[in-house]
Every structure is written in structure tokens, then in C-alpha cells.
């Protein structure tokens, strides 16, 4: 079984400032890692994913994340946020083996960008 | 638009009534997932289908819940004798396969309110 921990439930930040949203996971097998964004009253949109290879992955809207196997982390970063980045961000994992491939999500981090 | 669609977007019902939700996945996707998201939480896996076969069900899916995907295309999720604790957003997702192909695309969700 796997679990995902997002330690920060809310992150307030000023526009154009950098931001990091933290994600740690636990799993007995190798996993794929994902970040999704959810805007109010909408479904989830994939920001980026780590499958294998380079540990630094780039996603949409200027976001990037770095996979750190030793620390079992997959933190999301953006060097300069915009008001439109205000949303809920979810980190998720799925097992590399087996048939299920279901996603296990963290509890989410609310990013609030202000002027 | 060839994304995942869900119907209805909102449903208000009285305790004890039955409700049914529909999900239309992306047309070539053979995998379909249902998740439930309660307020302030990340989505939680309920069940998934590969084509018409229901391959896994979460313990969250009590015997009041049933899901079908009769021809391997659209899916329905029925909740019988609804309870107030069933109030949540029900999300549907689809993917092309498992492992590296398991990028799940989410629909906008059906928000259920049980009075």
C-alpha cells in the first residue's frame, strides 16, 4: 500500500514570488508520481508526472518538480507565480507493478496568490 | 470536445433516495476509474474497469454502491438509499492502459448533496 503526505494545507504567496509545495510519499514498491491541479468546481488537470529518467520534470504553466528517491519526495515548484495559479494542488502516486494503477492522492495544498 | 464528461454536474437528493451518475470516458480509453472527493480531502479511489470488467473495488464502496460499464464505453455509478455521508464530489477518470500509459484524465465531477 502507498500513502501521500502533503504537509502544507495552505500556502499563501504574493504574485511573482517563488513557491514550493511539498509532497512526500510512502510505498513498498516503485511508484509513478503525479501533480494535479484543481480549480474551483472543476475536475483535476495533470500538471506533470514522473515516470522514469531525469529526476527534474517540467510541466504545464511553468511548474516543475523534482523526484528525490532517498527522501521519498516530489516537491512542486514555480519560480514566479501568477494570480491565476490560485487553486488546489494534489500530489498522487500509482504503483509501477500490478494491474490496479489506481491513484493515491494526498490531502491537497491550497495555493493562494495575492497581489 | 473529446474529454471525459459526467452527468449530472450537480445532484441534490433526500436521504434514502437512489441516485445514478453517468461518465463518458475519452473514446479510445479502455480503463475507467471512479473516485470520491469529500470536502478538504483528496480524491479516494472507489473502483475501476478495464473495458467492461470491474477489476477492483475499494472497501469504501459499500453494498449500497454499484458501478457498471456494460459495453466498455460509458459507466454508471448508482448509490441506493443515500445517506448524508454520501455527500461528496464523484469524479470519473479514464486512461489508455496501465503503467506508463496510465495518465488519467478526469471529468468535471458530479457534486452530490444529500439532505
How does pLDDT run across A10-46, given as a tens digit for each residue? 999 999 999 999 999 999 888 899 999 999 878 899 9
pLDDT number for residue A19: 98
Chain B CB within 8 Å of residue A11 CB: no
Q: Is the pLDDT of residue A93 over 80?
A: yes
pLDDT tens string for chain B (115 positions)? 579 999 999 999 999 999 999 999 999 899 999 999 998 899 999 999 999 999 888 988 889 999 999 988 999 999 999 999 999 999 999 998 766 667 899 999 999 999 9
Preceding peptide of B8 cis, ω within 30°: yes
Contacts of A104 in chain B (CB under 8 A): 45
Which chain A residues have a beta carbon less than 8 Å from that of B4? 43
pLDDT in tens, A4-13: 999 999 999 9
Please state whether B24 falls in left (phi above 0), alpha (psi between -120 and 50) or beta.
beta
B85 CB-near residues (< 8 Å, 6+ apart)? B114
Cα dist. A34→A66, A73, B9, B80 in Å?
Answer: 11, 11, 25, 33
Judged by CB atoms closer than 8 Å, whether chains meet at B104 and A103 is answered as yes
Cβ neighbours of B48 in A, within 8 Å: 100-102
Report the pLDDT value the prediction gives residue B103, as an integer from 0 to 100: 83
CA distance A71 to chain B (A): 22
Chain B interface, best mutation among A42, A48, A90, A102, by max B CB count within 10 A: A102
Q: Determine the pLDDT at residue B77.
A: 97
Q: What pLDDT does B101 receive? A: 64
Name B41's Cβ contacts closer than 8 Å, sequence gap at least 6: A107, A108
Nearest to B33 among A90, A102, A107 (CB): A102
Amino acid at each position: 500500500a502507498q500513502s501521500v503526505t502533503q504537509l502544507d494545507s495552505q500556502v499563501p504567496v504574493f504574485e511573482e514570488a517563488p513557491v514550493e509545495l511539498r509532497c512526500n510519499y510512502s510505498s513498498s514498491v516503485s511508484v509513478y508520481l503525479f501533480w494535479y491541479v484543481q480549480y474551483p468546481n472543476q475536475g483535476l488537470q495533470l500538471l506533470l508526472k514522473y515516470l522514469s529518467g531525469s529526476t527534474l520534470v517540467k510541466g504545464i504553466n511553468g511548474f516543475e518538480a523534482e523526484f528525490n528517491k532517498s527522501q521519498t519526495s516530489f516537491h512542486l515548484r514555480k519560480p514566479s507565480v501568477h494570480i491565476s495559479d490560485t487553486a488546489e494542488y494534489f500530489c498522487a502516486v500509482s504503483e509501477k507493478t500490478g494491474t490496479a494503477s489506481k491513484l493515491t492522492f494526498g490531502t491537497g495544498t491550497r495555493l493562494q496568490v495575492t497581489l | 470536445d473529446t474529454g471525459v464528461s459526467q452527468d449530472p454536474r450537480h445532484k441534490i437528493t433526500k436521504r434514502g433516495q437512489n441516485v445514478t451518475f453517468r461518465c463518458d470516458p475519452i473514446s479510445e480509453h479502455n480503463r475507467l476509474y471512479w473516485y470520491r472527493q469529500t470536502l478538504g480531502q483528496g480524491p479516494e479511489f472507489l473502483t475501476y474497469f478495464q473495458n467492461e470488467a470491474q477489476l477492483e473495488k475499494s472497501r469504501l464502496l459499500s453494498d449500497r454502491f454499484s458501478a457498471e460499464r456494460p459495453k466498455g464505453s460509458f459507466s454508471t455509478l448508482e448509490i441506493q438509499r443515500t445517506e448524508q455521508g454520501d455527500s461528496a464530489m464523484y469524479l470519473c477518470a479514464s486512461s489508455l492502459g496501465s503503467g506508463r500509459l496510465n495518465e488519467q484524465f478526469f471529468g468535471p465531477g458530479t457534486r452530490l448533496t444529500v439532505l
